Amino acid sequence: MLGVSILNHGKVVFSKTYGFLNVQKKLPLTEDSVMGGASFTKVAFAYLVMQLVDSGILDLDEPVQEYLPKPLPDYAAYQNLAKDPHYRKITGIP
The predicted structure's pLDDT at residue 40:
76
The predicted structure's pLDDT at residue 94:
62
In this structure, the answer to whether residues 41 and 22 fall within a common structural domain is no
* Mean pLDDT value of segment 78-93: 90
In this structure, the answer to whether residues 12 and 41 fall within a common structural domain is no
The predicted structure's pLDDT at residue 23:
92
Split at pLDDT 50, 70, 90, the class of 1 is confident
**Nearest CA-CA partner of 93 in 64, 59, 60, 67:** 60
Backbone Cα Rg of the chain: 19
In this structure, the answer to whether residues 63 and 21 fall within a common structural domain is no
**Full domain range(s) for residue 2:** 1-33
Q: Of 1-5, 47-51, 59-63, where does mean pLDDT reach its minimum?
A: 1-5
In this structure, the answer to whether residues 82 and 94 fall within a common structural domain is yes
Q: Which helix (H) or strand (E) holds 89?
A: none
b/e code 23-40 from CB counts within 10 Å (16+ = b): eeeeeebeeeeeeeeeee
* Mean pLDDT value of segment 76-90: 93
Q: Please state the domain count of the chain.
A: 2
